[in-house]
């Protein structure tokens, strides 16, 4: 199906997923304004949010199935469809995890689901934006919604602190990003990603000072959003203070959206620009080392997972720094594996605590395997996948990143990834050890550790996916390779109007 974006009908078809989700978000906003007082109203809002994400996913699948393309160069490509599917899937799992959790914590705030939908809409704009300004607007739409999600529990001082820190540092990062966009515009005369790529080559400004400073500021802005060291200082406190399902959403979908936007911007606009690969490598090294070493000192399970998410951002940066086809495929594959693993891990954490789960220590899981064998098995699979143990999707993701780094002759980066993964065993394996090798402190220690029906279905789906892609990764890797391969810098001839 070929779409001509100069025609209104074709333009609306290309934007159909975003339009569908926007319509649902506005409908849900009206419903929440009318019904927002009882647990039933909360469940109604959650059901409508699931319906919104499901129908939007159906429109993405329809465009993908019809092999939608556009005349000219615009982001109607496999990368957009795969990233949209990832964002919508993460959003749906978060809704499923949140429904029982919000009732249990007495958070009767159905607007939580409205914010979730707007955050996913912003992510879709980031992953599919063909212009730096569209990427920026998508990032701000996502960020404003997530700032409020972090502080949605107005009774918690930790949540208020988390929201304030996230807002202040997020605004600071946005300023870097916007100033970087301004400098790139000054150097190239455009904010369109495809035209920037053409201008960089045709004007021979690969080493232009204004362009290089602009790219550096863009990397700083994105570095804050993906919580790369040294721009990670907000992440542990924000993740610790936010409601646990919202923390899982921030640690996965928000990070995946920032990475998707970064990957598209670097791949399409600055593929030939100098300097940024070295910066990305430096960020990868600092993030892998810093995230893993600090995680070793954590006894709180939630903070450990927070620092773990920082370390995994470093692994993804290695795939970005590889700059080859294998790295592009590994990038999307690892984002899928990491999202499934981390969402499931935070869901399992949520069953063990109350009031945000900040006080849940690793030792509090002692004897979980004897009293709740399914929960212990699911959490063990998540820990092994995060570690990169063979037979899990996390192992295959790290393997493909190692292959990409080796193919680009980045042997030292591959070796550091292996060494830091070994270090991570020091905080992942103790979780499994206390569940299976230590007795429970009492017979009723884990009596209230129960997943709701929807949350149980979400965790089951995630664990099955981790094990399946751990032994049969080929199809997902092929889709990832196709998606990443659809990103390319066009030539001037490809962008010229017909007849020129």
The reply to whether 222 falls in a domain is: yes
Can you read off the two tokens belonging to residue 385?
């996948």
Beta-bridged to residue 192, according to DSSP, are 131
* Selection from 336, 248, 323, 236 nearest residue 284 by Cα: 323
Compute CA distances 107 → 35, 120, 143, whole Å: 15, 21, 21
The reply to whether 500 falls in a domain is: no
Residue 108 half-sphere exposure, CB side, CA atoms within 13 Å?
Answer: 8
CA distance 233 to 236: 7
Would you say the C-alpha torsion 457, 463, 468, 473 has a positive or negative sign?
positive
Give the global pTM: 0.90
- Per the structure, the count of domains in the chain is 1
Element (H, E) at 168: helix 157-188
The reply to whether 336 falls in a domain is: yes
- Domain region containing 273: 2-495
The reply to whether 464 falls in a domain is: yes
Averaged pLDDT in 10-residue chunks for the chain of 500 residues: 70 86 94 85 91 94 77 66 92 92 86 94 90 92 93 86 90 91 92 88 86 92 90 87 90 92 88 84 93 90 91 92 84 91 91 70 87 91 93 92 89 92 92 90 78 88 93 88 68 42
The reply to whether 136 falls in a domain is: yes
User: Is the preceding peptide bond at 230 cis, omega within 30 degrees of 0?
Assistant: yes
Q: What is the pLDDT of residue 103?
A: 86
3-state secondary structure of 451: coil
The reply to whether 316 falls in a domain is: yes
């Amino acid at each position: 199906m070929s779409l001509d974006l100069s025609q209104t009908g074709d333009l609306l078809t290309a934007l159909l997923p975003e339009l569908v989700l926007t319509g649902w978000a506005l409908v849900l906003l009206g419903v929440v304004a009318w019904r927002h007082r009882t647990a039933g109203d909360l469940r109604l809002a959650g059901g409508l949010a699931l319906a919104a994400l499901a129908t939007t996913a159906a429109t993405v699948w329809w465009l993908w199935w019809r092999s939608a393309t556009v005349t000219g160069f615009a982001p109607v490509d496999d990368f957009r469809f795969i990233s949209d599917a990832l964002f919508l899937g993460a959003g749906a799992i978060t809704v499923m995890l949140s429904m029982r959790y919000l009732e249990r914590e007495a958070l009767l705030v159905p607007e939580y689901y409205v914010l979730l939908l707007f955050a996913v809409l912003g992510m879709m704009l980031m992953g599919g934006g063909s212009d730096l300004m569209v990427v920026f607007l998508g990032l701000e739409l996502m960020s404003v919604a997530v700032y409020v999600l972090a502080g949605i529990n107005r009774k918690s001082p930790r949540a208020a602190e988390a929201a304030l820190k996230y807002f202040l540092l997020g605004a600071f990062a946005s300023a870097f990003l916007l100033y970087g966009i301004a400098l790139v515009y000054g150097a190239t005369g455009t904010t369109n990603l495809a035209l920037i790529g053409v201008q960089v080559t045709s004007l021979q400004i690969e080493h232009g000072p204004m362009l290089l400073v602009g790219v550096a500021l863009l990397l700083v802005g994105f570095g804050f959003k993906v919580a790369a060291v040294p721009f990670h200082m907000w992440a542990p406190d924000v993740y610790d203070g936010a409601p646990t399902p919202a923390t899982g959403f921030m640690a996965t979908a928000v990070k995946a959206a920032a990475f998707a936007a970064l990957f598209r911007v670097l791949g399409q606009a600055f593929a030939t620009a100098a300097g940024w690969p070295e910066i990305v490598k430096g960020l990868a090294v600092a993030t892998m080392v810093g995230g893993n070493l600090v995680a070793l000192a954590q006894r709180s399970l939630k903070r450990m997972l927070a620092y773990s998410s920082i370390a995994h951002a470093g692994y993804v940066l290695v795939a970005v720094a590889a700059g080859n086809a294998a790295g592009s495929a590994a990038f999307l594959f690892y984002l899928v594996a990491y999202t499934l693993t981390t969402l499931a891990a935070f869901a399992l954490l949520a069953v063990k605590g109350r009031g945000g789960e900040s006080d849940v220590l690793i030792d509090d899981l002692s004897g979980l395997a004897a009293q709740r064998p399914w929960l212990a098995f699911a959490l063990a699979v998540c820990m092994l996948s995060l570690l990169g143990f063979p037979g899990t999707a996390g192992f295959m993701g790290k393997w493909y990143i190692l292959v990409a780094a080796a193919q680009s002759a980045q042997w030292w980066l591959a070796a550091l990834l292996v060494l830091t993964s070994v270090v991570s065993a020091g905080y992942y394996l103790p979780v499994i050890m206390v569940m299976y090798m230590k007795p429970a402190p009492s017979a009723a220690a884990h009596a209230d550790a129960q997943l709701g029906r929807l949350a149980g279905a979400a965790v089951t789906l995630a664990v099955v996916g981790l094990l399946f892609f751990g032994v049969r990764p080929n199809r997902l890797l092929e889709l990832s390779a196709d998606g990443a391969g659809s990103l390319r810098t066009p030539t001037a001839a490809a962008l010229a109007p017909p007849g020129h």
